[in-house]
């Protein structure tokens, strides 16, 4: 047996050298998700074949199986009842946390089992954990295709204000996707890590993170490789989705007299919110636009200006600034001490948001790193640090206070918010009645003074307390919070040593037995499932191309000569046959063949559209306009 292996100088292998698995960084977002990989301290986003690093956090459940990303997003128009989006807002939460549109929830729910709700999608009953696992699995596949090796470990980011239930749900979603979570990192902390290392920044910085479903603000001190969070705050139910709801409700108000008392359906709510999101994104680049809304079979165009948008979203923007003010106070800082403000999250692209941030902090925000990608880049750096070693150190904090219930339904806080983690703290309690032989320990999280206003995390009973007069027993309750922000609580009676310990696992809809069953099935069918997913995604893309061709031919078939029509029809039939088969490479080749056959047709349609757009204008009007209509959309060139 070899007890010690010696190596010549300079030949000592690097830590983890020879491992077959890689660690990546994942930003699991409400609207979009991003995956990145870092080597030698240089992180990069892993992009798809089209060069995009953003995968829409959307899952469609088709007759062939789940589809993730742009292909799923496209089904919002034709089959919205099969699509789940913004699922991050439901992690660790229930139906009461979902915002309605005109009194209608965008999903059908089954909350009969308690805990986190289950979404009813067709004949499926799905928890948000399972839906999130589909997104993570798609990210894992993309990384493996890009890197050419198995990816089994990841650092996953979460909003700083995610509570214990949401953090645990995120970790379990990764397990279902076949990923070992090395660490959960708060999103603003990951962004600061990427920004600080990329720009060699030092000093005190604020990270303003406004995504699709959550808002966080963190104040960090960056100094010689140490990233210390001084204070954090936020709202796990505030983000760009609220902007979308405000726009959609505004449009519905315009049609209120026409709609009458007839309610809108869940599918119509999804479609209207999708159109509102498109309007919000469009108005980051232009001052006004007309946007379609389809209700009860009728589509109408609604005018929206950037000025009107600013008024609609003002209450939520002001709420983020109020939270910023509190966090700066918690950090015991003056605004003048903050050297810069880093913007994170797609919703920070909204001009009104940027103006509000600049006005409050008194300086233009820093946005020279893509706000959609900076979190994943920081997560990738941390993944590399945890597997290969690093000179940097992350010192994060607990976002919400932890405590236990005492008599009268009051909360005794044991670990205060903004305490650096990992941490262990203990406090002594005693009995309330003479001869009391057991104590119920109720663990809660939140800042309010009563249990009713805080979030319940766990309950357990410490039994075997020796009979004593009230107040004589000494029960020591210890809270331990790990680097992921997850909690373990123990209680011990000091005279007898009797002890009870619980790893806090809030209920969110999946039992341990269900988790074990799903994990076993995923391991057993992992490779086949991945191949099936790739086949389905290629089928969906093929169907999209066929629908686009059908629409183009219905409008402009007269532009084709007989030879072109024959070539296109031959390629169309080839793709239709390929879609019915099981060979994804054949489907991909058939898509390319059809697009090549239809290219001259598409180019003539594009030329005609440009001529129509220029009718009545001089070419000089468009000179020097970097966003002019002379730059064709690459997506429109296909068909």
Asked about 372 being catalytic, the answer comes back as no
Q: Catalytic annotation on 416?
A: no
DSSP 424-444: EEEEEE--SSTT--EEEEEEE
* Active-site residue, selected from the candidate residues 27, 405, 484, 595: 27
Rounded CA-CA distance 130/530 in Å is: 16
> How do beta strands 203-210 and 340-344 pair?
parallel
In 407-560, the DSSP E strands lie at 410-415, 420-421, 423-429, 438-445, 455-463, 475-481, 487-493, 499-503
Question: Is residue 187 annotated as part of the catalytic site, yes or no?
Answer: yes
Q: Give phi and psi for 123, each to the nearest 5.
A: -100, 15
Backbone angles phi, psi at 331, to 5 degrees: -80, -5
Helices (H), 413-525: 512-524
| Catalytic annotation, pick one of 134, 164, 187, 405 | 187
235 annotated active-site: no
Count Cα neighbours of 293 within 13 Å in the Cβ-side half-sphere: 24
Q: Where are the beta strands (DSSP E) in 525-565?
A: none
Query: What count of other Cβ atoms lies within 10 Å of the Cβ of residue 431?
Result: 21
- The 410-415 sheet, strands edge to edge: 410-415, 402-406, 438-445, 455-463
> Which of the residues 88, 140, 270, 413 is marked catalytic?
88
Quote the DSSP letter at residue 452. G
Active-site residue (options: 130, 163, 164, 209): 209
The span from the CA of 371 to the CA of 357, in Å, is 14
Sign, CA torsion 95/99/104/107: negative
Residues in the chain, total: 639
Q: Which residues are catalytic?
A: 27, 88, 187, 209
């Amino acid at each position: 047996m070899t007890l010690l292996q010696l190596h010549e100088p300079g030949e000592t292998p690097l830590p983890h050298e020879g491992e077959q698995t890689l660690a990546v960084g994942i930003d699991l977002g409400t609207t979009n998700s991003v995956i990145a990989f870092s080597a030698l301290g240089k992180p990069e986003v892993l992009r798809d074949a089209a060069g995009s690093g953003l995968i829409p956090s959307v899952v469609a459940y088709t007759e062939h199986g789940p589809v993730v990303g742009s292909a799923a997003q496209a089904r919002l128009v034709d089959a919205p009842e099969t699509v789940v989006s913004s699922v991050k807002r439901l992690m660790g939460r229930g139906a009461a946390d979902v915002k309605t549109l005109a009194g209608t929830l965008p999903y059908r729910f089954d909350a009969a089992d308690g805990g986190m709700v289950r979404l009813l999608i067709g004949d499926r009953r799905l928890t948000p954990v399972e839906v999130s696992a589909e997104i993570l699995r798609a990210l894992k596949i993309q990384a493996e295709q890009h890197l050419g090796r198995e990816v089994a470990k990841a650092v996953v980011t979460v909003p700083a204000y995610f509570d214990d239930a949401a953090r645990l749900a995120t970790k379990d979603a990764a397990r279902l996707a076949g990923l070992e979570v090395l660490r959960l990192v708060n999103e603003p902390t990951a962004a600061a890590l990427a920004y600080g290392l990329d720009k060699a920044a030092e000093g005190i910085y604020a990270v303003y993170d406004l995504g699709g479903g959550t808002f966080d603000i963190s104040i960090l001190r960056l100094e010689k490789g140490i990233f210390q969070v001084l204070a954090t705050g936020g709202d796990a139910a505030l983000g760009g989705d609220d902007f979308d709801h405000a726009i959609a409700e505004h449009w519905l108000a315009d049609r209120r007299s026409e709609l009458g008392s007839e309610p809108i359906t869940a599918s119509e709510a999804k479609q209207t919110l999708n159109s509102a999101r498109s309007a919000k994104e469009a108005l980051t680049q232009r001052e006004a636009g007309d946007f379609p809304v389809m209700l009860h079979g009728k589509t109408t165009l609604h005018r929206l200006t950037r000025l009107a948008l600013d008024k609609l979203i003002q209450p939520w923007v002001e709420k983020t600034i109020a939270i910023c003010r509190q966090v700066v106070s918690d950090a015991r800082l003056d605004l003048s001490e903050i050297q810069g403000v880093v913007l994170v999250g797609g919703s920070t692209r909204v001009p009104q948001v940027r103006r509000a941030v600049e006005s409050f902090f008194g300086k233009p925000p820093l946005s020279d790193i893509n706000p959609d990608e900076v979190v994943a880049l920081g997560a990738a750096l941390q993944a590399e640090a945890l597997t290969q070693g690093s000179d940097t150190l992350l010192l994060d904090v607990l976002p919400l206070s932890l405590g236990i219930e005492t008599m009268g339904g009051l909360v005794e806080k044991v670990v205060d918010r903004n305490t650096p983690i990992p941490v262990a703290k203990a406090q002594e309690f005693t009995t309330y009645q003479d001869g009391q032989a057991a104590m119920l320990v109720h663990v809660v999280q939140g800042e309010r003074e009563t249990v009713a206003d805080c979030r319940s995390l766990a309950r357990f009973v410490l039994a075997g307390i020796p009979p004593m007069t009230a107040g004589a027993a000494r029960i020591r309750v210890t809270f331990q919070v790990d680097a992921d922000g997850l909690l373990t609580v123990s209680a011990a009676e000091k005279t007898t040593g009797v002890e009870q310990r619980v790893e806090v696992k809030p209920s969110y809809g999946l039992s341990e037995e269900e988790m074990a069953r799903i994990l076993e099935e995923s391991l057993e069918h992992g490779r086949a499932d991945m191949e099936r997913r790739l086949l389905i995604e290629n089928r969906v893309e093929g169907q999209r191309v066929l629908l686009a061709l059908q629409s183009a031919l219905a409008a402009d078939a007269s532009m084709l000569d007989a030879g072109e029509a024959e070539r296109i029809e031959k390629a169309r039939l080839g793709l239709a046959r390929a879609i019915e088969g099981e060979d994804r490479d054949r489907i991909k080749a058939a898509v390319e063949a059809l697009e090549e056959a239809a290219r001259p047709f598409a180019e003539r349609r594009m030329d005609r559209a440009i001529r129509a757009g220029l009718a009545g204008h001089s070419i000089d009007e468009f000179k020097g306009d970097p966003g002019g209509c002379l730059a064709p959309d690459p997506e429109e060139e296909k068909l």
